Structure 1
């Protein structure tokens, strides 16, 4: 890899990592995820992550554990006898995989809000944060399958057999 490519990778990791951090992902986890997006390999070892990010093994370990815990990456098998830990993005359509892993959480939030509305005896009304939140998650539950179908068609139209 040329020096220019290394610098471009570092700029991307810093830029996307910062944007992801602004969305609430811890800084090192953001950088690890950005690195996995841009590295051109199916899986990356913990050692390679640490070297590529200029980070400690402990920082990488915490970051990958967070990303696995929130369903954004997964452990990847090594070769037999290999003691390295490997990580990867979900194979195929990463963003759909991440979103689909979040849907049970949306369902739990929705059910909890509906139960709260019923228990508290709230009447549906505009301006009620609880009621509007329940409406939002009800909408997301109903619309996400159609959005996913439209996304697949859009992706296929742009990537064809490459996707």
Structure 2
């Protein structure tokens, strides 16, 4: 693996760390996303990431338990090959988007409690946050419906331009 590939994996891994994955989970996930073929066996993952068996095993198991990674087998080959589960990734994004409405409720509750407090500038900033969540709570369902309609047409072979 070239230094450029290692750096790309590191950069993408750092991004996924920021999204809640452990450092090794994030590197494994990044490696699988950037590998050709898009699936890799355990020892290849270990070798490419220069990590211990234990570290890779724990990361792969956690990714599989979260359904972020699946495995496949190939005919006449006893190895298991690990690959990213794009459908789970999409499902996780939808869950994050769905969390906008409850966050809006929380911010509204905070603003109600702060109504009598003598910090108008701070309250105005919180109102701006609330307005953002209100906008997103309204727009995300429309965007998802539009995307799903477009995706359904694309899968059926209908032109979506």
TM-score by length of 1: 0.60
Distance 1:63 1:133 in 2: 36
Match of 2:142 in 1: 142
Match of 1:103 in 2: 94
1:48 aligns with 2:44: yes
1:29 aligns with one of 21, 25, 28: 25
Q: Contact conserved, 2:101 with 2:137, CA < 8 A, in 1?
A: no
Aligned length, in residue pairs? 142
* Alignment deviations for residues 84-141 of structure 1 (CA, whole Å, 9 cap, x no partner): 3321123xxx4x762234425644x467669989xxxx7xxx8469966863345323
- What is the correspondence of 1:1-163 to structure 2 with a 5 Å cutoff? 6-71=2-67, 73-79=68-74, 82-90=77-85, 94=86, 98-104=89-95, 106-107=97-98, 109=99, 127=126, 135=134, 136-147=136-147
TM-score by length of 2: 0.60
Shift of 1:152: 9.6
Q: Contact conserved, 2:71 with 2:82, CA < 8 A, in 1?
A: yes
Distance 1:13 1:114 in 2: 35
- Unaligned runs of 5+ residues in structure 2 are 113-123, 154-161
Q: CA RMSD in A?
A: 4.1
Distance 1:116 1:19 in 2: 27
Deviating above 6 A after TM superposition, structure 1's stretches of 4 or more consecutive aligned residues are 113-117, 128-131, 150-153
- Unaligned runs of 5+ residues in structure 1 are 154-163
Cα gap change, 1:87/1:129 in structure 2, threshold over 3 Å: closer, same or farther?
farther
